[in-house]
């Protein structure tokens, strides 16, 4: 009878060990992804500030369009920051869903930024800058 309980205990331990290890690994992945997302959003914040500083050189008509695009960029940046907060408070079960949403938010932010850079460079090289 004693051998039976030892065998049952060993079987239970063997079956639960991979789950414990996987859970730790998943937490590590979540932590690394959160750090990566925070870094990316910090970089975007710096890029946006640089872009705002360069916008001071634009003519008034171009500056109006720039400001509209900047508002859109800031909305996307705010949405990405909200997703980061959600990501930090999410449970392991819903982590993949929130991670996908975070990836999408960062991607949209990146696309909007690239559109602004392309437009800003085009304006800068075609004479949209005050002299």
Domains of the chain and any CATH numbers: 29-125 (1.20.120)
Average pLDDT, whole number, for the chain? Answer: 78
Reply yes or no on whether the pLDDT at 76 is more than 80.
Answer: yes
Q: Give the Cα separation of 115 and 118 in Å (integer).
A: 5
Q: What is the pLDDT of residue 8?
A: 64
Q: Specify which of 57-61, 73-77, 94-98 reaches the highest per-range mean pLDDT.
A: 73-77
Please determine, for residue 41, whether its predicted confidence score (pLDDT) is greater than 70.
Answer: yes
Cα–chain-centroid distance for residue 51? 20
Q: What is the pTM of this model?
A: 0.66
Q: At residue 78, does pLDDT exceed 90?
A: yes
pLDDT of residue 6 exceeding 80, the answer is no
CB 80 within 8 A of CB 102: yes
pLDDT (average), residues 108-113: 90
């Amino acid at each position: 009878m004693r051998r039976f309980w030892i065998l049952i205990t060993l079987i239970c331990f063997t079956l639960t060990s991979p789950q414990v290890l996987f859970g730790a690994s998943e937490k590590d992945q979540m932590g690394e992804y959160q750090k990566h997302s925070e870094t990316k959003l910090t970089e975007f914040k710096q890029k946006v500030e640089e872009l705002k500083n360069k916008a001071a050189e634009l003519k008034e008509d171009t500056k109006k369009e720039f400001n509209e695009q900047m508002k859109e960029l800031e909305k996307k940046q705010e949405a990405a920051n909200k997703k980061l907060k959600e990501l930090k408070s999410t449970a392991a079960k819903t982590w993949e869903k929130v991670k996908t949403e975070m990836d999408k938010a960062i991607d949209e932010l990146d696309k909007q930024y690239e559109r602004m850079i392309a437009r800003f460079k085009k304006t800068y090289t075609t004479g949209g800058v005050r002299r």
